[in-house]
Structure 1
Amino acid sequence: MPLLNKACTARNVHWMVPRSVNSLFIGRSELVQRIQNALRNNDLGKSSQKRLVITGIGGIGKSEVCLQVADLMREDFWGVFWVDVGNPSTAKNGFLAVAKALGFSAKGVEESLQLLSNTKDRWLLVLDNADDPEFDYAAYIPSGNQGAVIITSRVRECSQHSTLPTEALEGLDEEHSTQLLLKAAHIPKESWQSCKEQARAIVGLLGSHTLALIQAGAYIAENYCQLSEYAEEYKQLRKRLLRHYPKQQQSRYQHVYATFEASITVLNEAKDEVGRDALDLLAVFSMLHSDMLPLHLFRDAWKGARHVLEGDHDDDKMDGTYALEQWHVSQLPEFIDSQANEWDDYRLNKACALLTSLSLVTRHRSNNLDGLSMHPLAHAWAKDRLEDKQQQAAWMCAGCLLAMSWNQPEMWQMFRKHRELDLKLHLQSLLSPSVETMLPYDTRDMIIPILLKSGWALYTWREDNSLESLLQGIYNALQIVPHNPSKEHIEIWNLAGLNLTDMGYIREAVELLKYVVQMRKTSLSKTSPLQLDSQCALAVAYTANRQTEEAIGLLEHVVKVRETTLAETHHDRLASQHNLALAYNDSGQTKEAIELLEHVVKIRETTVAETHPEWLASQHVLAMAYLDSSQTKEAIELLEHVVKIRETTLAETHPDRLTSQHVLAIAYLESSQTKEAIVLLEHVVKVRETTLAETHPDRLTSQHVLAIAYLESSQTKEAIELLEHVVKVRETTLAETHPDRLASQYTLALAYWDNSQTKEAVRLLEHVVKIRQITLPATHPDRQASEGCLAFMQSELELYTS
C-alpha cells in the first residue's frame, strides 16, 4: 500500500462529516477545549496514536460534541473522516467511502484502514455509535501511531481503546440545560429571564438529559402545551409511567422514557384517526429495527393483502395449510385499507408527520428513498412502553406487514429490491424472540405462515445460517425432525430442503426434497406451480450431488411444462431453463448448455436491469459453459463483468459474489494468469473459512482450486498442505466413489509427485484409477487422465530403479 503523501503540509483537504453543527448545541465549552488541547498536544510523541473515547448514555450528546470538535479543528487536519460503526454494514460502507474519497477502491475495511495508516498527513477519524458490547472496535482503528481517533460509545468498556483520558459525558449543567430547553422550545431569547424558573423545574424533572430536553422543547414548540404546563403534565405522566413500568424506577433512562411518554398524550388526543394511526405506526416500528424503514413497504403490504383477498394463490410458494389468510390481512394497521382498489397513503403520511413533529421519528427523503428512522433510545422506549399483550399484538402486526409485503406474484423480485434497503435488519429484529416465544401469540396456524414467509426472505437473501436457526426453532417448538418428515408440515420441509442445499448438506437435502416431491405428487397436478417448484429444487440438489442424469430428467419435464404454460419472459420459466443448462453443463452436454443459456441471457437482458441477480446468475453459468468448451476469452469477459457488478451490489461474504470470483479465478488459471488467480482465490478462501463450516462443499472446492493454482506457480508445499486438509475432510464426508473426493485425491497425488514423494503419489493415484475404472467409462476424460498419469509415474519409477 503506497504512502498517500510525502509531506505533512496539506490542511483541510478531506472533509467527510455527515452533518453540520447542531444549532441547538450549547455548553460543554470546557470539554470541547479539553479535547482540542489533547489532540493538539504532542506530549505523547510518535510512540502512541492519539485516541479519545467519549462514553455516555444514548442521546446525551456524544456525537454533537464530536461535530463541534471537528468543526473547530477542521484546519488542523489534512482530513477529517466520520464513520458510523453502529453496525457492520454501515461501518463497512463508511470505510469504503473514506477509501473512495482518497482516490482508492478498497474491497473492505482493512484496506481502508491501511490507507489511513500509511498517510503521513494529520487526519482525524471519528468512530460514532460504537455501542455493541460484544464487538471489539479495535478492528476499526488504523494501525500505527499516525492520526487521531475519537470513539463515541455507550459501552464503558470501550474506554480501554483510549490513549488519552476518557471523557464520560453526563447531563449538562443547570444553566446550559435551561438554555437548551428554551432554545428547543423556540422561546425568544428576550423572554428567557422571565421563563427561567419554569424551565429549571422541567430541567430538574428531566435530569438534564440532552435528548430529553430537546424532546420536551419540541413538545412545547409544537404548541401541545405551554412551558408553564409541561412540568405538571410530566408529573402526571411520570406517576403513570412508574405505575405501569416499575422495572424502570432505577433506570437512568427513566427520564427520557417519561419525556417520550409525554408525547403519547398528544397522540391520544389528536383529532380524527391520525393519533391512533401514529400509535399503530409507532408500535409496528418498535418490533423492527431503529434503522430506516422504507415507507413503500406499507404499499407493498397493501398489494399483498389484495392478493390474499382476491384468492389468487397460483404463484404462492406455500401450500394451503400455511398460506396467508384474511386473518393476516386483519392484523395490518388500520391506515392500510385492504378493501380499497387503489393505494392511498394519506393516513400513513399524516401519522408520519405527527410522529416527526414530536421528534419521535426522523423522516428521510433522498435518492428516491422515503423512510423513517428512530433514535435507538426512542425506539427502545416505543417497545418498552407496551404491555406484554400489546407487544404481542404489535409483533403480529409487524409480522403480517412484512409477510404481506412479500406476498405477491413477483415476491422474489420484491425480496431482491428490498435487499439494498437492508430490510434484513428489520426482519432480524422481528425474529429476535425465540420461536417458542412467538408461537403462543396466536394459534400456530396463524403464526407459522408469518415465520415461513420470513424464512423465504432469509432464503432469497442467502442468510443461510439465520434460516437454519429459524427452522431449528420451528422443529423444536413443533417437536418435529427433518429425518422423519410428515405431510402435515410439507411447506416446512420444502424450505428446509432448500436451506440444506445452500448449507452444503446435499445428501440430506436430496432425501428431504424427494419426500416433498413425492407427497405433492399425491395432492397436486403435474402442472401445479408448487409441484414444479419442488421438482426444480430437487433437481438443483441432484446437480449438486452429481446426480446429473436424475436432475436432467426432472428439469426437462419442468421446462417442457413451463414452456407451454408460461410466457417466454416469466422468471419461473427462465429459472428452470437456467437450472437445466447448469445440469447439461455438469453432464458434459456443453453445446446444449450454451444454446439454452444464451437464450436465457438474451431474454433477461431485455427484461431486467444490468444488476439484476437472475441475469447475473445466468451470465455466470454461461461463462462456466464457455470455460468447459475452451472459450476462455469469452468466459473471462463475462465473468469480469459479473464480478464487477456483484462487488458493488453484494456484501463481501455473499455466496454469489464469492462464487463468481471463484470461477473467474479458474478462468484466469485456464488462460495462464496464475498470479491473478491466486490473489482472487486467496481472498475467496479467506472469506469462506470465516463464514462456512469446515465441511461445506464450497469452502473445500475453493481450497482445492487454490491448491491447483499454487501447483501452477510452483508453491508445492502450500499446495500439499491445503490438499491434505481437503482430502482428509472429503474422505470423512463423501462416498469413496464421489467425483469431488477422487478429484482432490488425484490433485494431491500430482502434488506429491512434484514434491518427490513418489511412493505416496503412486499409492494414491492407484486408488483413484481403481475407483474410476469401476465408475467411469473408458472414454471419460477424468479416467483417461488418471490412467495416463499413473502410467507415466510407473514408467518413470521403472527407469529410475533400473
Structure 2
Amino acid sequence: MHLFNVHSGKFWQTYDNIPPYVAALHWWKADTETSYQDVEERRNIHTDGSRKLQGFAEYIKKHIPHVEWLWIDTCCINQKDAAELSEGVNSIGCEDEDELGRSGWFARGWTLQELIASKCVILLTNTWQIIGHKDADNMDESMRTMPVGKSLTAAIARRTGVPEVGLQDRTNSDASVKKTGWPDAEPKPSYNVPFRRDPHFVERPFLTDQVRAKLSIPKSRVELAGLGGVGKSQLAIDYAHELRQQSPNTWVLWIHASNAAQFEQSVRDAVDVLKLHGREEPKVDLLLLLRNWLRDEGKGKWLIVLDNADDAGFLLEQLKRGDEVKPAQRRMDYIPVCDHGSVLITTRSRNQALRLVFENDTVNVLPMSVDEAVSLLETKLGETGEDCRELALALDCTSLAITQAVAYIRERTPRCSVRQYHMDMEQSRASRMGLLRREVSLPDQDAEATNSVLLTWQISFEHLYTTRRSAAELLSLMSCCDRLAIPEILLRVSDADEREDFERASSFEDDIVALRSFSFVSQTVDAQTWEMHRLVQDATQLWPESQSRLDDVRNRFVHCLYMSFPNGDFENWPMCRTLFPHAKVAMGQQPHDVGTMLEGATVMYRSAWYALELGAMVDGLAMAKAAVRVRSRQLGEEDEQTLSIRALIGWQYRDQGRWNKAEELNVKVVDTRIRALGSEHSNTLASINNLALIYWSEGHLGQAEELGVKVVEARIRVLGSEHPDTLASMDTLVNTYLSQGLYGEAEELGVKVMETMIRVLGSEHPDTLTSMDTLANTYWSQGRYREAEELHVKVVEASIRVLGNEHPDTLGSMFNLAIIYHGQGRWQEA
C-alpha cells in the first residue's frame, strides 16, 4: 500500500511491517480531488483536493504528532495500476449528530469495515471541527491528549444497524457484523421502469427536444403537463428507455405519484432495486434511506420519474414522525436537488406542476399534430389511407383515444374497420360516447389506470369537482356552448352588488386558471374567448348527465344566453355575431322548465331577428318558428312577444317573395295589436308599416300609400320627425311614390330622409344605406344616371364593408348598379 508522509509530502510503498497511520475518510468532489500522479509530480497544488490533503496532514501533525503517515483513498491509490485500483471510501458530509443519522456514508460496506476495523474513529467537519468519536477509549496513551468530542457510537449503531458491541469489540465474532447484517453487494446501475418501450411510439420532436434539453441541465426538474390521454407518460417512458440506452451508468427510478399509497409502494420498490442496507428493518424510514442514497454523488447519476402527479398536495404536505411534525419534511423534500440527479414529472394539471417546478421547466403537452396522429394510427394498425386521417381528426388527435380505437378495431377485425369505427363515432353523441367509454385490453397497462379516454377525463372532472367545485360548474356550462369560441360575456352574469361583483370576478378568474391548468379549455387569440375539444365537450356533458344534473346545467346555459343576447338592431350586431353560434346550439335543447322554455324562446326571437337582418333566412325562419311555438303554447296568440315573432316571420315571407302568406300573417298582427295596444302604439305602427311594404311588394300601391301616410303622420306625432322609426316609414313611402311615378314627391322626401339618417344614424348604418339606395333608384327612374351611379357605388362599397358581399341587401345594391351600367351601354362593367 502507499502511505503519505505528513512531513515530507512524499509516498512510501510498503507490503510488510506497516507503521502506524491515520486513515482519512472524506467527501469526494468530482474533478477536484488530488490523485497519486498529482502528488508525485507536484501539480494541481491549488485545488480543493490538494488543500484537503494538506489539511489532513496539518491536523495530524498538530494533534497526533507521534504519527507521521496518512492514508487517503484519492491519492494513496495509484489508479493507473489495475492491481491497486479499488473502490474508494464514500463521503460523510455531516455537520452534527442529526446529519450523521442521515449520512449515506454509513450505508456502504467499505465504510462499515473501516468503522469496525479501526481502533478509534474521529469525525470532523470540513472546517476541521470535532463532531464526535467512536471508541476513543481504545486510543493509545500517546493519543489521549487529542480532542475527541462526544461519543457517537450509539448514533452510528442506529444508523448502520450494527450493534454497539460489534462496533466496540472487534474480537467478538458473534457481535461483529454478521453476514446477514452486511449491506448487499453494491448493485450496478439499473432501472425499474414498469413499462416496455412502445415499438409504435411516434416521435414528437418539438416535445422530446425540449425534454432532452431541459433534463441535460444539472439539478433539473422538468414537468410534462397536459390533458389526460395526450401521451405524457408515453413520452416519459420513451425518454427513460432512451436514457438507459445512451447512458447505461445512469439509474432510472419510476415512482407512481397518483396518491400517497402508490408513491410509498414505489419508494419501497426503488430501495429494493438499489438494495439499500437496513430496508428490511421493521421501523425503517424508507424515504430517508432513499434520500441518503440519492444525495450520494458517488452512486452516480440518476433520473427519477414521478408519473401521474396530478395532485401535488400529498407530495408537499408535512409528514409526521410519531406525534411531531418536523419542518421541511415533505415527501418531495426526500428527492434532493443535486448536480448528479434529475426529476421528470407527468401531470394533468399545470397548476400542480407549478407547485413542483419553475414555469420555464414545464413542457406543455398538447394533442398530437394531424400528421403525428395519422402516423400513430397507421403504425399501430398497419394501414394507410384517407380513412385513417379522417378518424385521427375525429379523435381530436388524442393519443389515448387513438390507441383505444386501434385496440377496438383489432378485436373486431374483419367486422370492424377504420371507416366503420369512424361512421359509428359520427352517428350520434351517444354512439361516440359508447365507443370512448369502452375499456380494452392493452399491454403493460398500469393496474390502477384506465385505458378509456372518457373515463380518464371523468377522473379529472371528479378531482376538479372535489377541489374546486365552481370551476367544475363553469366547465359544465362551457360544455353546453359552441365549443370553438366560448365568450366571457356569456359565462358571467353581473349583479348590482359591487362587492359581490368583485368577488365573482376574482372567483371566475381562478376558475378559468383551474380549467386551463387541466387543459380542458384553451384560450383563443382573443383573450376573452375560449375553446374546447369536441371529445372533451362530449365527456364533460356526460359527467353531469351521470349525476342527473344535465338539465340544471342546460337551464343555466339558456339563462346566460337570455341575459346576454341583445335584440337584432344594427348597433348590437357585434354582440349578436359573437353569441349567435351558441344560440344555434341552444335551439337543439328542449328544457322542461316553463321559465327556461320562455327564456329560450326570447333568445330564439332575438337570434332570428339578427339572422334575418343579416340575410341568414333559413336559420332565422327556423329560430322564429321555434320561438313562436313556445310563446303561443304557453302565453297565447295575443301575447305581445308572440305577435312580434309572428310579424318577424311575416317579414321573412315578404323577403322570400311569399307575399300572400306575408300579408295574411301581418294583417292578423295589425288587427290584434290595434285591439290590444291601440292604433298609435309603436309596435302597432311598426306592424302597419310592414303591411304597407308588403302591399307595395304586391303592387297594391294605393293601399300601400294610404297606410304609409298614416304611419308617417302618427310616428311624427308620437316619436318625432327624426326618430329612426319615423325615417324608416318615410323611406317606405318614398318607394311607394317612386312606383307610382311621383318622382318629384319621391325625390323631395328621399333627400330629406337620407340627409337626416346620415346625421342621426351615421353614413354606414344599414337603414341609411337603404335610404341612399332608394334615392339612387329615384334618380335612375328620372334618367339621371350619373347621380344614380354615384350613390349606388357608395352604397355597394359600404354594404360590402358592413353587411358582407353575400348579404341580400348588398346583392340588391349590386344589381341596381348593374342595371345603371347596362342602361348606359357599359356591358362589361354591368
Indicate the TM-score class for this superposition, using the shorter chain for normalisation.
0.3 to 0.5
TM-score, with structure 2 as normaliser = 0.45
Choose between structure 1 and 2: higher helix proportion: 1
TM-score, with structure 1 as normaliser = 0.47
